[in-house]
Amino acid sequence: MSQVINGRVRDADGRPVAEARAGYLSGPVPLPDIAALTDADGTFVLAAPVPGGYEIICSLPDGTNASQAVDVRPGEDATVTFALGS
């Protein structure tokens, strides 16, 4: 059973960012080249097919981006939060 990576994207003032793209840069297994868009609350969900370390990239609609490492432990979902923008 796969876990998920729950994410949140906020701007520099802490407001949610809608329509930011979140996807994988790397992981413990080959991963599909897909991206999730954040909703109006700035949240996204990515499936984590196996436990291990993942590098998640987030890109704002204006082209600003950042990456962050997240560790998915067996049987647990993980959470990552991005604070981006000016």
List, for residues 25-77, the tens digit of each pLDDT value.
999 999 988 899 999 999 999 999 999 999 999 998 888 899 999 999 999 99
pLDDT given at position 56: 97
The answer to whether residue 2 scores a pLDDT higher than 80 is no
pLDDT given at position 1: 59
- pTM score > 0.95 for this model? no
Is 61:47 a contact under the CB 8 Å cutoff? Answer: no
Who contacts 51 (Cβ-Cβ below 8 Å, separation ≥6)? Answer: 3, 28, 72, 73, 74
Domain that holds residue 21: 3-84
Q: What is the CATH number of the domain that holds 19?
A: 2.60.40.1120
Q: How many domains are contained in the chain?
A: 1
